[in-house]
């Protein structure tokens, strides 16, 4: 059995003695990415995705970049399309188009680099048509009551329970991503300003986000009462630490949050991103501006944020209830007039109210 923290050595790519093989050019490509300040996570992901492609090539006696043609890449694309996931809850299910896109983009970028470096005279991946990835609505979003149920699960009488409550509160208060949470340091939170610095988020961008008072209280308690007991030499600056004293692995955090969601009794599934969807949806329903949510979540494009306008349907329900010929009569409040129930709000008043709201939106927009 492998010891804790042991990492299996990476498999050798192709023939290491071949000066024109994949095993020679792939390390140079990864170095090129690092020199141009691509994040370590991006470089690691590119390495993993390319190794899957090289293994597929080796099984077909393709060991050099010059052996690869456009028809071969199209064959690999069909292979990826028919792949089935081999582990986890989705075992046996096909790869999602986002995962397929990741594998193909890595290959396309690699061959583009080879052409730029004059290793190849032409790029066989230049005309490779990538799959169309549709932006889907979040499958699950917590209500405010359900979010509170999840937050109440950690046993705060135990040190790790305090840590877990603090990190859940941070996720719920700020909507940051999993890796952004793991990369937080003790210097990134300003209690005086009530803000948190998110460093090197997606795309390598920094941003400052507000953090709520309750989340700040739990972080303060965790730092004062628990964190010092977890730190081991050399002292880590990361805010949230594992019981080994180092930064938790991303998979560990995913499993931790998922188990808390499951233990809460909420009939919804998800992990860290579930809180991100919840924050955006609840803020939008409570009147937050879509651009403010974009800034909070660190989205590059407003289109990414606008997906939550389709999840939040409170406004649509209100309009539907006030204007649909069936639900309008059922939802309008009643009042007693000479012992008879009559609508407390007339149809004309409802129309006038909606018209006023629409005019106000036009003026404000």
Residue pair 207/263 in contact (Cβ under 8 Å)? The answer is no
pLDDT of the residue at 359: 55
Residue pair 271/172 in contact (Cβ under 8 Å)? The answer is no
Handedness of CA 79, 85, 90, 91 (dihedral sign): positive
- Answer yes or no: 320 catalytic: no
**Higher model confidence: residue 161 or residue 96?**
161
What average pLDDT is seen over the chain?
A: 83
- Quick: pLDDT tens for 300-338: 877 777 777 766 666 667 766 777 776 555 555 545 545
CB neighbour list of residue 118: distance below 8 Å, 6 or more residues apart: none
DSSP 67: G
Catalytic residue among 46, 227, 276, 277: 276
Residue with tokens 């970049």: 65
Catalytic residue among 202, 221, 268, 332: 202
Q: How far is CA 4 from the centre of its chain?
A: 28
Nearest to 131 by CA among 96, 101, 110: 101
| pLDDT mean over 253-267 | 94
**Higher model confidence: residue 288 or residue 340?**
288
pLDDT of the residue at 315: 67
- Answer yes or no: 258 catalytic: no
Residue 52 pLDDT more than 90? yes
Catalytic residue among 103, 163, 165, 299: 299
List, in sequence order, every residue forming a beta bridge with 189; answer none if it has no partner: 196
pLDDT of the residue at 350: 52
DSSP 84: B
What percent of the chain shows pLDDT beyond 70?
A: 79
- Give the Cβ contact number of residue 254 at 10 Å: 16
**Higher model confidence: residue 158 or residue 300?**
158
Question: E-strand spans in the chain?
Answer: 189-190, 195-198, 207-210, 334-337, 340-343
Which range of 156-170, 201-215, 234-248, 311-325 scores highest in mean pLDDT? It is 156-170
CA dihedral 174, 177, 182, 184 (to 10 degrees): -40
Q: How confident is the model at residue 86 (pLDDT cuts 50, 70, 90)?
A: low
- Quick: pLDDT tens for 334-365: 455 455 454 455 555 555 555 565 555 544 54
**Higher model confidence: residue 266 or residue 342?**
266
Residue 180 pLDDT more than 60? yes
The Cα–Cα gap between 77 and 69 comes to: 13
The Cα–Cα gap between 129 and 304 comes to: 23
Catalytic residue among 70, 258, 273, 328: 273
pLDDT of the residue at 361: 53
Residue 5 pLDDT more than 50? no
Q: Looking at the structure, give the CATH architecture of the domain made up of residues 144-311.
A: Orthogonal Bundle (1.10)
| pLDDT mean over 155-173 | 95
Catalytic residue among 64, 103, 165, 177: 177
**Domain positions in the chain:** 22-116, 144-311, 323-364
Q: Beta strand pairing status for 207-210 and 334-337?
A: unpaired
Indicate the pTM of the whole model: 0.70
Token representation of residue 155: 């046993």
| pLDDT mean over 271-290 | 88
- Quick: pLDDT tens for 106-150: 999 999 999 999 999 999 999 999 888 777 777 888 999 999 999
Q: How confident is the model at residue 6 (pLDDT cuts 50, 70, 90)?
A: very low
Token representation of residue 231: 């730190």
Token representation of residue 17: 């003695």
- Quick: pLDDT tens for 10-31: 766 767 778 899 999 999 999 9
The Cα–Cα gap between 237 and 186 comes to: 6
pLDDT of the residue at 195: 92
- Answer yes or no: 268 catalytic: no
């Amino acid at each position: 059995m492998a010891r804790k923290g042991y990492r299996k050595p990476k498999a050798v790519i192709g023939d290491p003695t071949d000066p024109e093989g994949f095993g020679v050019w792939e390390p140079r490509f990864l170095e090129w990415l690092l020199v141009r300040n691509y994040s370590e996570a991006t470089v690691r992901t590119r390495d993993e995705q390319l190794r899957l492609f090289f293994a597929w090539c080796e099984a077909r006696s393709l060991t050099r970049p010059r052996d690869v043609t456009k028809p071969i890449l199209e064959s690999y694309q069909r292979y990826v399309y028919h792949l089935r996931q081999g582990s986890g809850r989705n075992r046996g299910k096909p790869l999602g188009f986002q995962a397929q896109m990741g594998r193909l983009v890595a290959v396309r970028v690699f061959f583009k680099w080879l052409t730029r470096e004059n290793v190849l005279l032409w790029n066989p991946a230049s005309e490779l048509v990538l799959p169309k990835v549709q932006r889907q609505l979040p499958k699950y979003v917590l209500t405010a009551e359900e979010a509170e149920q999840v937050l109440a699960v950690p046993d705060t009488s135990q040190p790790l329970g305090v840590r877990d409550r603090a990190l859940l509160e941070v996720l719920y208060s700020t909507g940051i991503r999993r890796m952004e949470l793991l990369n937080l340091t003790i210097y990134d939170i300003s209690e005086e300003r009530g803000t948190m610095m998110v460093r090197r988020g997606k795309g390598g961008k920094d941003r400052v986000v507000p953090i709520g008072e309750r989340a700040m209280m739990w972080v303060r308690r965790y730092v004062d009462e628990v964190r010092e007991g977890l730190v081991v030499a050399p002292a880590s600056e990361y805010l949230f630490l594992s019981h080994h004293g180092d930064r938790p692995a991303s998979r560990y955090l995913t499993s931790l949050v998922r188990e808390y969601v499951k233990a809460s009794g909420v009939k919804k599934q998800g992990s860290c991103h579930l809180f991100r969807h919840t924050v955006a949806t609840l803020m939008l329903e409570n009147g937050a501006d879509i651009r403010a949510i974009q800034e909070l979540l660190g989205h590059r494009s407003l289109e990414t944020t606008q997906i939550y306008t389709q999840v939040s349907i409170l406004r649509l329900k209100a309009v539907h209830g006030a204007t649909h010929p069936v639900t309008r009569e059922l939802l309008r409040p009643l009042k007693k007039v000479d012992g008879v129930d009559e609508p407390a709000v007339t149809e004309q008043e409802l129309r006038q109210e909606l018209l006023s709201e629409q005019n106000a939106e036009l003026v404000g927009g």
